[in-house]
A and B are shown apart, each in its own frame.
Chain A
Amino acid sequence: MKRFISIFLLILVSLFTLEMLEPVQKHVIVPFTSLLAYLSAALILPFDETAIAYGKILQFKDTGFAVSIEAGCNGVEATIVLIAAIVAFPASWRDRILAIFLGFLAIQVMNLARIISLFYLGNWNMNYFEWIHLYLWPALIMLDVLIVFVVYLRYLSRKDGQTELAHG
């Protein structure tokens, strides 16, 4: 447990510091965040023609209400936590990479749900928007990370069991 926590924290702090560097923000994080805004608009548009996206901003054409997707709202920090946990836990690199890829997808699906729900919520009531945006959604995203990690550990456990059966 101590070894896992130490490696986990080392990777976590390193990746987080890397993410905060200006060139990484400019060339990776901001374009990725803009992509999320466009994806959110693409998901909304078939049902609601009043939504538009430009840069990392999502806006209603009719009311003018807009949300800007900022650090902490793009799922990058949650992905960093997941990568650190998966890499810190002993497994084959094939399993690790597959888990990171699937985990990233799980986080981003949840994150798109967060962005779209907050976009509509903010247009309706700013008090609820603030509460759910600042407190509830971050907890749900971390719960998503936790569930992905526990499911990954269960997969590893079952795989080991099957390997032992095959060898037995």
Chain B
Amino acid sequence: MDEHNPMRHFLIFVFILLIPCFVLWTVFNGPIAIPAIGLTHFALTHWFPDVVQALYVDGSHAVLMTEFGEKDGKMVPLLEAEYRLGFKINPGIVSYSLPFYTALHFATTRKEYMGSYMWGIFILYPLLWFGLVCICLKELMVNLGADFFNQPGVFVPNADVIGILYQFNVLIVPTLAPAIVWLWQSKDTTLLQVTLGKARIT
């Protein structure tokens, strides 16, 4: 279909593939995020051992359990609490980069698909993990406040840094990173060579 117009071919196929890729991702969203949730659990429990108890999978979401509790609507140390304080995290707001990249990748005519696709996922997954860390930092900052920032002997990033990192990793990275990886992997494809001609990004 439209072998002579790679741009048209790309546009048709990207719109055809987008919905099925997102539907498949919705179905497998939970299992896809498990390694990133595990790595984030490891990073946060070692970074903030007195604040973070665990980050675990809960269906398609994750739950960030703290070392604090709640009693009569107030945050208190766990020993005085009626129950442990935890926050629901949605890894989907960073992991949707994967179906977007999948649609872009397979909509482009290229010599080889699976090897470069696996490389793309390999590049995007650490960004997904870092995005998840930023979401957890934001939740801890907003919900624990001073108890999160005042941890003796522990480096806690500045509130503005956490805010900007969170916004950047939620608003920009999940859509931009797949686009950059796709552009980089497609620079030798007919689509970019024919369409862009001399204006190629070299």
Chain A residues with a Cβ under 8 A of chain B:
1, 4-5, 12-13, 16-17, 20, 71-72, 77, 80-81, 89, 131, 134-136, 138-143, 145-147, 150, 153-154, 156-158, 160-161
Among candidates A72, A77, A134, A145, residue contacting B179 with C-beta atoms closer than 8 Å: A145
Q: Are A142 and B199 in contact (CB under 8 A)?
A: no
Q: Are A138 and B168 in contact (CB under 8 A)?
A: no
Nearest-CB residue, chain A, relative to B170: A72
Q: Are B100 and A139 in contact (CB under 8 A)?
A: yes
Among candidates A89, A138, A156, A160, residue contacting B96 with C-beta atoms closer than 8 Å: A138
Q: Is the C-beta of B184 less than 8 angstroms from some C-beta in chain A? A: yes
Nearest-CB residue, chain A, relative to B101: A139
Residues B126-182 near A (CB distance < 8 A): 163-164, 167-168, 170-172, 174-176, 178-180, 182
Q: Are B201 and A1 in contact (CB under 8 A)?
A: yes
Q: Is the C-beta of B14 less than 8 angstroms from some C-beta in chain A? A: yes
Residues B182-202 near A (CB distance < 8 A): 182-184, 187, 192, 195-202
Q: How far is the CB of B50 from chain A (nearest CB, A)?
A: 30
Q: Are A150 and B196 in contact (CB under 8 A)?
A: yes
Among candidates B90, B175, B201, B202, residue contacting A139 with C-beta atoms closer than 8 Å: B175
Q: Is the C-beta of B116 less than 8 angstroms from some C-beta in chain A? A: no
Q: Is the C-beta of B75 less than 8 angstroms from some C-beta in chain A? A: no
Q: Is the C-beta of B93 less than 8 angstroms from some C-beta in chain A? A: yes
Chain B residues with a Cβ under 8 A of chain A:
7, 11, 14, 18-19, 22, 26, 90, 92-93, 96, 99-100, 103-104, 163-164, 167-168, 170-172, 174-176, 178-180, 182-184, 187, 192, 195-202
How far apart sit A118 and B199, CA to CA, in the bound complex (Å)?
37
Cross-chain pair count, CB within 8 angstroms: 95
Interface of B is mostly: helix
Among candidates B7, B170, B176, B182, residue contacting A81 with C-beta atoms closer than 8 Å: B176
Would you list 17 pairs from A and B whose C-beta atoms are within 8 A, ordered by A residue? A5-B180, A13-B168, A16-B172, A80-B172, A81-B176, A138-B96, A138-B175, A139-B18, A139-B100, A141-B175, A143-B14, A146-B104, A150-B7, A153-B196, A157-B196, A157-B197, A160-B197
How far apart sit A77 and B197, CA to CA, in the bound complex (Å)?
29
How far apart sit A76 and B77, CA to CA, in the bound complex (Å)?
42
Known: A145-B179, A154-B7. 16 other contacts (CB 8 A): A1-B184, A5-B180, A16-B168, A16-B172, A17-B164, A77-B171, A81-B172, A81-B176, A134-B90, A135-B26, A135-B99, A143-B18, A147-B11, A150-B7, A153-B195, A156-B199
B26, B93, B167, B176 — which one has the most chain A CB atoms within 10 A of its CB?
B176
How far apart sit A1 and B196, CA to CA, in the bound complex (Å)?
14
Taking CB atoms, residues of chain A closer than 8 Å to B103 are 139
How far apart sit A133 and B202, CA to CA, in the bound complex (Å)?
36
How far apart sit A153 and B182, CA to CA, in the bound complex (Å)?
16
Nearest-CB residue, chain A, relative to B202: A1
How far apart sit A58 and B18, CA to CA, in the bound complex (Å)?
28
Among candidates A142, A147, A150, A160, residue contacting B176 with C-beta atoms closer than 8 Å: A142
Known: A71-B171, A138-B175. A20 touches B163 (CB 8 A): yes
Nearest-CB residue, chain A, relative to B96: A135
Nearest-CB residue, chain A, relative to B184: A1
Q: List the 4 closest A-B pairs by CB distance, nearest first.
A: A142-B175, A157-B197, A157-B199, A156-B199
How far apart sit A153 and B198, CA to CA, in the bound complex (Å)?
9
How far apart sit A123 and B113, CA to CA, in the bound complex (Å)?
41
